[in-house]
Amino acid sequence: MPKYVFVTGGVVSGLGKGIAAAAIGVLLEAKGLRVTIQKLDPYINVDPGTLSPFEHGEVYVTDDGCETDLDLGHYERFTHVKTSIVNNYTTGRIYNNVITKERRGDYLGNTVQVVPHITDEIKDAIKSAATGEYDIVLVEIGGTVGDIESLPFLEAIRRFRYDVGKENVVYVHLTLVPFIKAAGELKSKPTQHSVNELREIGIQPDILLCRADRQLSSDVKRKIAIHCNLDPDAVIAAMDAETVYEVPLFFKEEGLHKLLRKKLGLTKGEPDLSVWENVVNRIKKPAHEVSIALVGKYVGLKDAYKSLSEALIHGGIANNTRVNFHWVDSEDIESKGAETFLSEVDGVLVPGGFGSRGIEGKIEAVRYAREKKIPFFGICLGMQVAVIEFGRNVCGLGANSTEFEVNAKDPVIYLMEKWYNHRSGKIEERTKDSQMGGTMRLGAYPCTLKEGSHAFQAYHLKEIRERHRHRYEFNNKYRGVLTKNGIEISGLSPDGELVEIVEIKDHPWFLGCQFHPEFQSKPIEPHPLFTAFIAASLKEKRELFK
């Protein structure tokens, strides 16, 4: 039977439960344990697939095509966990499952209630993540203790300890210990109140992670321990870090691994974090710097591009380089021109997105990068606008996507009438009444690379598998005219029908991919395309100053 670690949060949202859970996963994996991580989210949406990026940040996509919370990205970046549909449950999905069972008659006429039916469904969801040869199941509870939305999840994990045995469960609670400048001291009262709320529910935390902007003195730890019914060594400082990849090192220094070992009855042994020490050293003491412009339409909320910005940092780690971000709103380019924002950068990246807003700004950014020979990387929609720009300004076409102009003269990007449904495993017809998520190409698909291309030189592989989240595709009717004028199709689906990667031959480094490579990048295993993009940006910068 696996052991369970439940991570909750209090005082305020945004303290970093996802990072904390992922860092705990690092410590446990570094001890040789097999770990998986799950996120339970209190919002009523069945999944975040239809949520605005401004509302909830990016939608993270798993190999099996599940649209999930962005914290699953943290889990995969920090650990060796491969997440799937069982690693993320929402209130909406839990209730949907229960209502479906009730309509089917599974409850045999019983009155369906939050306790025990909803809580039992939550417990079953937790157990579903434990299917496999795992030693530890980490479960992050979304929201903040005291919020009404989180109560069923907290009740479920309270009962869970009785189901599997108290020796198999540890409760970790993340709180805030603010420094009040006027008083000149750290205040423990918010933490005390948060723990009291948790204890009123029936959960006594075993470990406290205290977010603070400075180290906690032994006196502060002792005070917190007394009021929260804990030993002082169970109060762990979770200090602000220069980089999130330093958090596992902080936790080890605080002795969190020893606490987990003692409370879960794990074997002795120090976790080896030398690879993380190397990662942190490269981030904090880089040999080089580059400036990358990220031209998007959701730049008002950086979490909308969380995996993307992290993958760029990973590409910098691989090149011993600090990546300086220039967040550029594509609508600003439409009003002020690309020169205003892109003249001083070493590379340009245009990410994915949906809808027509800001599209012309993205197209103009592509044109600027192409004409000025600045290394360019287009991802998903970024690849599509690169094709549109090339079609218009090099091939002389009235190029557009049918997403933005239904009756486009030259629909170089269009909605395919037939598509492969990852979930059903079948070729299906698109219909007007198809559900939003049901019409997208979601999850991991294979791609065959052309030897000698930038893509092949980056991967050093003939076939790759990458994750997708899009609805529109490259229109094969325009392959001839585009390739004749200089587009190189360097990545195709194995059957040759779907264009996955395009490049421009007469350019230092210009690549667009239909998939989202950022979802498979890690600090200890930087993605090949991001590594190559940063390397190309560095090269261009060096040549500029020769």
Q: CA-CA distance, 366 to 363, in Å (whole number)?
A: 5
Catalytic residue among 257, 454, 516, 527: 516
Q: CA-CA distance, 260 to 263, in Å (whole number)?
A: 5
| 410-414 sheet: strands from edge to edge | 399-401, 410-414, 473-474
**Token pair of 427, please?**
């070729």
Provide φ and ψ at 20, rounded to 5°.
-60, -45
Using an 8 Å Cβ cutoff, are 393 and 367 in contact?
yes
Using an 8 Å Cβ cutoff, are 171 and 201 in contact?
no
**Residue 190 CB burial class (10 angstroms; 0-12, 13-18, ≥19):** middle
The alpha carbons of the chain give a radius of gyration, in whole angstroms, of 25
**Token pair of 155, please?**
């009740």
SS3 call for 511: strand
> Which DSSP letter does residue 423 get?
T
> Which DSSP letter does residue 118 get?
I
Read out DSSP for 355-422?
SSTTHHHHHHHHHHHHHTT--EEEETHHHHHHHHHHHHHTS---EEETTT-TT-SEEEEE--SEEEET
Provide φ and ψ at 374, rounded to 5°.
-90, 135
Q: CA-CA distance, 55 to 301, in Å (whole number)?
A: 9
Catalytic residue among 447, 470, 518, 527: 518
CA distances 272 to 31, 45, 233, 252, 451, Å, are 7, 40, 22, 10, 39
Token pair 């705990």 is found at 24
SS3 call for 264: helix
SS3 call for 317: helix
What does the buried/exposed string (b/e) look like for 294-316 if buried means 16 or more CB atoms within 10 Å of the residue's CB? bbbbbbeebebbbbbbbbbbbbb
**66 flagged as catalytic:** no
Give Cβ neighbours of residue 68 (< 8 Å, ≥ 6 apart): 39, 47, 48, 59, 60, 61, 62, 83, 87, 88
Catalytic residue among 66, 228, 380, 447: 380
**516 flagged as catalytic:** yes
In single-letter form, the type of residue at position 530 comes to F
**380 flagged as catalytic:** yes
Active site residues: 380, 516, 518
